[in-house]
Amino acid sequence: MAQQITANQEILDYVRATSLRDDQVLAGLRAETATVPAAQALQVMPEEGQLLALLVRLTGARAVLEIGTFTGYSTLCMARALPTDGRLVTCDIAAKWPDMGRPFWEKAGVADLIEVRVGDARATLAALREEGAEFDFVFVDADKSGYLHYYEESLRLLRPGGLIVVDNTLFFGRVADPAVTDIDTVSVRELNTRLHTDERVEICLLPMADGITLVRKK
């Protein structure tokens, strides 16, 4: 019995030919991001961006929180899935990354839906709680050492029935190797363990891209 498909380049090309719905704005931002060192490791796959947009629509989300903007590709995908009166708050440690994405948000006509907050994500999340913010959907894709903290804060900010999507939960396969003990790998591994036993939520870890975990707040 088949247990898993190996996503070699031939399979990936087939998936993109039969599933990916791309356009010039999305492709343009990916091309711009490709000029950044280490972009391949940090950029979400186009299939993941499409999945995020679909999940935003499926959940009927009107308020989205993104922890970790980078160049704003996932931001763009999710913002385009929002209703015209929707809101997306995205946070990053440095303004230069979302600034790369902003012209593409403007081309897509969604820049007015996006609020960028620059600074330490812990401070941003604390400020959002003080403001009484509530979100329908949260995407976590930031520094891995902060994942446990980001998860708990996201859960506080999320409405009941809302969805958290956590990226990189397989972390290049390192989480499955107990010999790997760097802080990022250990942090992702600890989050996965926490999620598995957390009765406040329902979960599903998708073996897609670098691991994507869907977390529904009960």
| DSSP bridge pairs for 38 | none
For the cut 60, the answer to whether the pLDDT of residue 2 exceeds it is no
For 95-126, write each residue's pLDDT tens digit.
999 999 999 999 999 999 999 999 999 999 99
- In the prediction, which pLDDT does 37 show? 84
Residues above pLDDT 70, as percent of the chain: 98
- In the prediction, which pLDDT does 143 show? 96
Across 125-150, b (16+ Cβ under 10 Å) vs e yields beebeeeeeebbbbbbbbebebbbeb
For the cut 80, the answer to whether the pLDDT of residue 72 exceeds it is yes
For the cut 50, the answer to whether the pLDDT of residue 1 exceeds it is no
Q: Which residue has the higher pLDDT, 36 or 132?
A: 132
Calpha distance 94→2 (Å, rounded): 44
